[in-house]
Amino acid sequence: MTARTVLHQADIARALTRISHEILESNRGTDDLVILGIPTRGVVLARRIAENIQRIEPAAVASPADIVGALDVTMYRDDLSRRPTRTPQPTSLPGPIDGKTVVLVDDVLFSGRTIRAALDAVSDLGRPRAVRLAVLVDRGHRELPIRADFVGKNLPSAAAERIYVRLTDVDGDESVTIEEPGTDTGTGRGSDA
């Protein structure tokens, strides 16, 4: 198997800290900020970003739960007939999103189809003032005109390669790896977003 680790646990933590600072700077604080993770690993990353924001500006955020939630996009995907459907997970919001800045969080940005589905889901929930996108890894190969506002690591890769994000909360270890075709380990989430 040919797998190459491109981010270790410390690298992921640094990237999320930087993204947290960038979100705060872009939003000019935490006023009207909502952070929504896309299941599964996007929810974990969103929680970590919210925890970082609370540490950076403790007076502005009493609890990460005040600004973080989960946005399930399963039923909004345009490839439901071609892919096995994962069990939808409940969408949970920290409050109304009307007039707020919503930051969508996902682990890997690839084709852009997951984010298109997320935008559809958000529009069914309300009318935010702005929607931003934060991703741990942007690997290129977009099929839709979608761009991340906050990126942990730009990781050019061949379209046939797979990017696996493993997070301790979900997978028991923490890393980002690139695997060549035919070496799928079956662990972590491959890039399909």
Contact in structure between 35 and 68 (CB atoms under 8 Å): yes
Tell me how far CA of residue 187 lies from CA of 23, 162, 179, in angstroms. 30, 11, 11
In this structure, how many other beta carbons lie within 10 angstroms of the beta carbon of residue 83? Answer: 9
* Domains delineated in the chain: 10-159 (3.40.50.2020)
Tens digits of pLDDT across the chain (193 residues): 588 999 999 999 999 999 999 999 999 999 999 999 999 999 999 999 999 999 999 999 889 999 999 999 998 988 777 766 667 788 999 999 999 999 999 999 999 999 999 999 999 999 999 999 999 999 999 999 999 999 999 999 999 999 999 999 999 999 999 998 875 555 455 554 5
